[in-house]
Chain A
Amino acid sequence: MRFFLTCLAADLRASLTEPGDILAQLGFFIMITALFVLAAGPESDRLALIGLAGLWMAALASMVPAFERLYEAEARSGWLDQLLVSPQPVWVFVLAKAAGYYISHAVPLLLASPLMMIWLTLPLALLPVVLASLGLGLAGLILLGALGAALTLGARRGAILAAILVLPLSVPLLIFGVLAGQAALSQAPVAPHLQLLAAAVLFLLVLMPLATGFALRTAAENG
């Protein structure tokens, strides 16, 4: 637990001292949403129907390109090699890194999402459901991204490669997340979708840190 907190604090400090990444990603998210509205047309009754899709697409598109750099600093500085020969379990580091990434990169998107909902003419009564589903979905996405980042360490075209790996795996998250929002829009029960989404995230929470730790070890061994 202490190791987890140490890693988390270090990661947060690193990303907060250089907020450029976070701001760029947030800007990307806002721009995609705005351009989505431009592409879909301003008629608000139609826009509200596909607004959820736009929100999720913008969130996915703004999260995925940055995954490649998740472990870049640690790998380059040799910190990762040190970790792998140390007795500390790698999966704890992976979890801490994912948690830090969630706080620094997903929370800003969640904070900006009410504004995006206004743009997309989604009723603000939907806010709790959108925050819950997007919050869970982004957690799952980051866990997948952690694996994608670890697998593509040292690859050519790492960014696009990580995206190609992560996006098909994120299909269930997207589906359950959007269904929850649509259920709320049509006043149907939301809970089953959110529960399935939570189940998928829990599954990833168990599987991904192990697989990612293994992938990091592979990357370090092969240079």
Chain B
Amino acid sequence: MFDYLANPTRFMRLADYTVWPLRLIAAAGLLIGSWLGLASSPADYQQGDAVRLMYVHVPSAWLALSSYLMLGLASLFFIVWRHPLADIAARAIAPAGAGFAFLTLVTGALWGAPIWGTWWVWDGRLTSMLVLFFFFIGYLALANGFDRPERGARPAAILAMVGVLNLPIVKFSVDWWNTLHQPASILRSGGMAIDSAMLWPLFTMFAGLQAFFLLMVVQRMRLLLGQARLARLADQQEAS
């Protein structure tokens, strides 16, 4: 399958077909999910309406983490098979992943202000999400840090792979650091069983955000491929 998709022209044609379905799924998921989350689901008996932030927060955190893994995977493909499309994919995933990590931190802070009474705690999860966000920033800075964009491809891919290997250590060290300094946040521990009235909006929002994420990645890949083609044509024009 990868061989088949690895041809940029074929990929472009296939990607064209995915754009509209993704748009529809994303719009439907986000609209229905928002309605379920904002209107039809109950407020939490302790957190009140602030619990509704969870429907954005949790899927974002999920997407931020999984997109770093995807970034690492795309980088591995790029290093092993040296296929430019893998680099394009990684470059398209990174800004989306950074965006979701940022969204996770912001929604978390907005939720924390009324519930925890503070915008920020140096809780293990918050800290590792922050470091993950820094990893994305580092990747983006390196991938775009060279005069010729394609020159940054391999260094950035190496960085992403090292980052994936390092992430568990960061996570572990941050948890270790946190547990010694402050007792685990009461609100985070003991995974509360979620009622299905809250599970449905969560899943719908997750599907919508996932489709939105894929849409951003596909659109950005098309943009990057188009830019590369444009640069090639300009070079040819100059040469002739």
Which A residues form the contact surface with B (CB < 8 A)?
147, 150-152, 154-158, 161, 164-165, 167-169, 171-172, 175-176, 179, 196, 200, 203, 207, 211, 214-215, 218-219, 222
Contacts and interface: CB of A to CB of B under 8 A. Distances in A.
B147 A151 contact: no
B158 A179 contact: no
Contacts of A207: 162, 165
Given A167-B134, A171-B131, A215 B158 contact: yes
B154 A169 contact: no
Contact of A175 (B147, B158, B166, B174): B174
Contacts of B146: 154-156
Interface in B180-203: 180
B138 A168 contact: yes
B155 interface: yes
19 contacts: A147-B159, A151-B155, A152-B142, A158-B145, A164-B137, A164-B138, A165-B138, A165-B142, A167-B134, A169-B163, A171-B174, A172-B169, A172-B173, A175-B173, A175-B177, A196-B173, A196-B176, A211-B158, A222-B154
A218 B131 contact: no
Contacts of B137: 164
Given A152-B142, A156-B145, A196-B173, 5 more contacts: A165-B142, A169-B162, A169-B166, A176-B176, A207-B165
Interface in B185-226: none
A161 B176 contact: no
Given A164-B137, A168-B135, A157 B145 contact: yes
Nearest to B163: A169
Contacts of A211: 158, 161-162
B131 A168 contact: yes
B151 interface: yes
A172 B155 contact: no
Contacts of B32: none
Interface of B: 131, 134-135, 137-138, 141-142, 145-147, 151-152, 154-156, 158-159, 161-163, 165-166, 169-170, 172-174, 176-177, 180
Specify the main secondary structure of chain A where it touches its partner. Answer: helix
A169 B164 CA distance: 11
**Which 5 residue pairs of A and B lie closest in terms of their CB atoms, listed nearest first?**
A172-B173, A168-B134, A151-B155, A155-B145, A218-B154
B8 to A, nearest CB: 21
Contacts of B166: 169, 172
A164 B166 CA distance: 15
Nearest to B152: A155
A168 B142 CA distance: 14
Nearest to A165: B138
B136 to A, nearest CB: 10
Contacts of B155: 150-152, 155, 215, 218-219
Contact of B141 (A164, A176, A215, A218): A164
Contacts of A157: 145
A150 B154 CA distance: 11
B163 to A, nearest CB: 7
Contacts of B141: 161, 164-165
A196 B176 CA distance: 10
A190 to B, nearest CB: 13
A168 B173 CA distance: 12
A215 B154 CA distance: 8
Contacts of A165: 138, 141-142, 159
Contacts of B172: 172
A196 B173 CA distance: 9
A200 to B, nearest CB: 6
A196 B145 CA distance: 34
A70 to B, nearest CB: 15
Contacts of A147: 158-159, 162
Contacts of B134: 164, 167-168
